Chain A
């Protein structure tokens, strides 16, 4: 028991002096964070660990001092900022990249396009059959994200609004990748994922007549877009500062665009 206690004490001491960068947060920012981490570790020899537990969890970890960088696919909420201040932490946002939220369906789904109102209607349960929105006669399988998702929050802000919640019948998936693989294997499914996750296994539906693309997001004609952030506690220093400079370096911009996101 004594040894146990001693070990525990040692644990606190060692971790306080811990080196390396710990990133926690959004699965949307995950690919960027992971690729930056690999690049950074290789280039500067600083170990970087990445957890993808959702934006909310990232914020929580940052507030608790459990991570150095919180990757978030939404703005930090006022309550979160207040909680951080209470703990003496000043969250600082650094934009990592721009991202569009693509509304995706199975490639076999002939639906031409959807309006924002139609999408909201589908997610709130007003439309339950593809026939009602210009598709074939088939029940709509609605896929959403878990509540810890920043993509989910952004989707709600941008599409459904806060007034009417997303219907509980919608299936929840833990990540962008999971939504994509569910939609790509389910002909009558609809889901939403970050642009960076788009590939030929799913089809992005034009929203209000605009297809998600680098150009349409940069110009702002595609409405469902948001910024992705790296939050730090206070102004970063040392290797964390170096890490956060990555999105604006040439290599960093290239990584971002290779991953299908849009650099600022």
Chain B
């Protein structure tokens, strides 16, 4: 670190610094740097501590009860005598709401990121970004309050019609698009233009009728649906997707931005439309960064406590049938928050330690996904800078 040394005083003979003084300076510098290092490693120490303290309280559970029950049984009777601690249903519930939120947030998030980075003019983008940041900043308890007080009763009283409208609005345009593209693709083989056009029109009419039939049948099914309980996996998935969106959008957008202009320009030069350029060239190039964005977004849903605690219904069973999002579920985070009450740690019961086991499970999952997403980002950076 010769850069820090005051060169002037070293070189000029007029200010000869005594050997002792120089040593002291050096020692002070070393000491200073070690303090800096110590503070910088504080985070690492904290991470180790978190792992250690959560693990120390989690291990007794596994010692007492082994691994099999926790992961394979869904009998969750912590208050029973003797208690049963099958967390399978709870792990399943966690996975269910996380998957649900990802299904909603990932396509929307990627589309929004693409739109922000490539479609919107800069002036609009300036206003769109703060909106996203605001969505990210809203405290989770406010979302939970919304889910519990507004969304849950709404789902109960008019969930069916609501779902129907959402279905019409979302599926309608997609099906129409599919009609156009489908008929176009099917008639692509026909050489003669007039005949092709006639066939295409016929197919379009046919498909449109079919699409409307599908829309109508599914829509009326949804319309007639009675949602018994508004605090369910669907409710939570919707709200969690709102919360995961900002993370996905901002990370995915960064990675789209880092794909250079050259790629895009090359694609345009070959005559591709913007959509084709984005789908065939830009998105694949940014895919690893987008994957990292997805992982981070999923992590956000997985680790969220308040929304799921307030609005998931907290019933520890695997829904019947297994994909029924209209049933109440229970998640790891909500179980920790809700069950800590009976955590009689003084008796060292499995009941207290099982919550730490859940915490450890969450911690390990988040640690691994973090490592993966980090690796992905680093690799992408290397690839892109290598090009």
Judge if B77 is at the interface, Cβ distance under 8 Å.
yes
Residues of B contacting A182 with CB < 8 Å? 229, 231
Among B75, B80, B330, B347, the residue within 8 A (CB) of A172 is: B330
Contact A87 B346 (CB under 8 A): yes
Rounded to whole angstroms, the CA-CA distance of A152 and B228 in the bound complex is 23
Which residue from chain B places its CB closest to the CB of A56 in the assembled complex?
Answer: B342
The distance from the CB of B33 to the nearest CB of chain A, in whole angstroms, is: 16
The answer for the CA separation of A142 and B121 in the assembled complex, in Å, is: 53
B346 touches A86 (CB 8 A): yes
Number of interface residues of A (CB under 8 A): 42
Are B342 and A148 in contact (CB-based, < 8 A)?
Answer: yes
Task: Describe A's contact surface by its main secondary structure.
Answer: mixed
Q: Which of A55-111 contact B (CB under 8 A)?
A: 55-57, 59-60, 63-64, 79-80, 82-84, 86-87
Contact yes or no, B81 A83, CB < 8 A: no
**Stretch binding the partner chain, chosen from B134-142, B216-224, B241-249, B313-321:** B313-321
Q: How far is the CB of A70 from chain B (nearest CB, A)?
A: 12
Q: Mark B228-245, 1 if CB is under 8 A from A, else 0.
A: 111100000000000000
A53, closest chain B residue (CB): B341
Cβ-defined contact, B314 with A171, below 8 A: yes
Question: Is A168's CB within 8 Å of the partner chain B?
Answer: yes
Is there an interface contact between B315 and A168, defined as CB atoms closer than 8 Å?
yes
B345 partner residues in chain A, CB cutoff 8 A = 60
A-B contact count (CB 8 A): 105
- Distance between Cα atoms of A172 and B311 in the complex (Å): 11
**On chain B, which size bracket covers the interface?**
35 or more
Residues of A within 8 A of B340 (CB): 53, 57, 148
Tell me which residues across on chain A come within 8 A of B66, comparing CB atoms.
Answer: none
Q: How far is the CB of A28 from chain B (nearest CB, A)?
A: 13
Closest CB in chain B relative to A50 CB, distance in Å: 15
Assembly CA distance A17 to B38 (angstroms): 34
A139 touches B228 (CB 8 A): yes
Q: Are B231 and A168 in contact (CB under 8 A)?
A: no
Which residues of B are found within 8 Å of A188, using beta-carbon distances? Answer: 228
Shortest beta-carbon distance from B178 to chain A in Å: 37
* B80:A162 contact, CB within 8 angstroms: yes
- The interface residues of chain B lying within 8 Å CB-to-CB of A186 are 156, 228-230
Are B89 and A60 in contact (CB-based, < 8 A)?
no
Q: Does B79 sit within 8 A of A, measured CB to CB?
A: yes
A147 within 8 A of B: yes
**Residue from the list A60, A146, A166, A185 in contact with B344, Cβ < 8 A:** A60
